[in-house]
Amino acid sequence: MAMLEVKNLEVYYGVIQAIKGISFEVNEGEVIALIGANGAGKTTTLQTITGMLSPAAGEIIFEGCDISKIPGHKIVSMGMAHVPEGRRVFAELSVYENLKLGAYTRKDKQEIAESLAKVYESFPRLEERKNQLAGTLSGGEQQMLAMGRALMSKPKIILMDEPSMGLSPILVEEIFHIIREISAGGTTVLLVEQNAKKALSIADRAYVLETGNIVLSGDAKEMMNNESIKKAYLGE
């Protein structure tokens, strides 16, 4: 059974249909990439899965439970975390306070401390800057903070929206290395990414979204060699 199943999902913005009955699934332990051009509906899909938007139709099944009507804050405590597009860190709070907020659904102080130690191990720069205000961090550091904050909820699955956006090539490498590590640590990953080449290089499977429809899906490595994908998304 898939960990996450999206079935015939439809989402509207006013009268405009942004998502047109898409279906896909994510199995436990996979890295799944959702690729497509700007405006294809990738962010909308993630926001609907995590309860930030309400679907007009369809089902979102997470570990056997339909979560399509469940509010976002309850979905977090079920084991799903969302790293939003544009980082969305709490600029006026310190790095440490941002990370603590990521664990607000958890009660066990000992386990929270262990998670914090793990996040600092993955992101040494966050530990160096733990007392610094999040708003004063560089873009790359803010992205690391957003990822670290999501990991503090101890998620079974983490949804990442454009983690490489606006970052230098060196930082993009670093962020993707960390996504690999998160996956290797046993967390399932659903990745929305403009940088299709990078996304396909670390994904197990991928889905291509075009104007609210899934037009192609399959093994990520095979997709990297698909001529139409190369032309449309890999700039070849």
Per-residue tokens: 156: 């079974």
Tell which wins on pLDDT, 231 or 180: 180
φ, ψ dihedrals at 88, nearest 5°: 55, 45
Count of helices and strands (H, E) across the chain: 10, 10
Per-residue tokens: 66: 């339909």
CB 207 within 8 A of CB 32: yes
Tokens 């790293």, residue located: 83
Task: Domain ranges for the chain, please list them.
Answer: 88-154
Asked whether residue 227 carries a pLDDT value surpassing 80, the answer given is yes
Q: Which amino acid is at 126?
A: L
At 33 the three-state DSSP class reads: strand
**Band of the pLDDT at 236, cuts 50, 70, 90?**
low
Q: Which amino acid is at 41?
A: G
**Band of the pLDDT at 151, cuts 50, 70, 90?**
very high
Asked whether residue 229 carries a pLDDT value surpassing 90, the answer given is no
Q: How much of the chain, in percent, has pLDDT values that exceed 70?
A: 99
**Band of the pLDDT at 231, cuts 50, 70, 90?**
confident
Amino acid 209: pLDDT: 93
107-156-41-60 Cα dihedral, nearest 10 degrees: -90
Asked whether residue 207 carries a pLDDT value surpassing 90, the answer given is yes
Neighbours of 134 (CB within 10 A): 24
Asked whether residue 201 carries a pLDDT value surpassing 80, the answer given is yes
Taking alpha carbons only, the member of 171, 169, 165, 213 closest to residue 44 is: 213
Amino acid 194: pLDDT: 85
Arithmetic mean of pLDDT, 121-141: 92
User: What's the mean per-residue pLDDT of the chain?
Assistant: 92
Amino acid 204: pLDDT: 97
Arithmetic mean of pLDDT, 113-136: 93
User: Residue 222: CB partners within 8 Å, gap ≥ 6?
Assistant: none
Query: What is the C-alpha separation between 218 and 105, in angstroms, rounded?
Result: 35
Residue 114 exposure: Cα atoms within 13 Å on the Cβ side: 7
**pTM score of the predicted model:** 0.91
pLDDT digit string (tens) for 70-113?
A: 998 899 989 999 998 877 899 899 999 999 999 988 888 889 89
Asked whether residue 176 carries a pLDDT value surpassing 90, the answer given is yes
Amino acid 93: pLDDT: 93
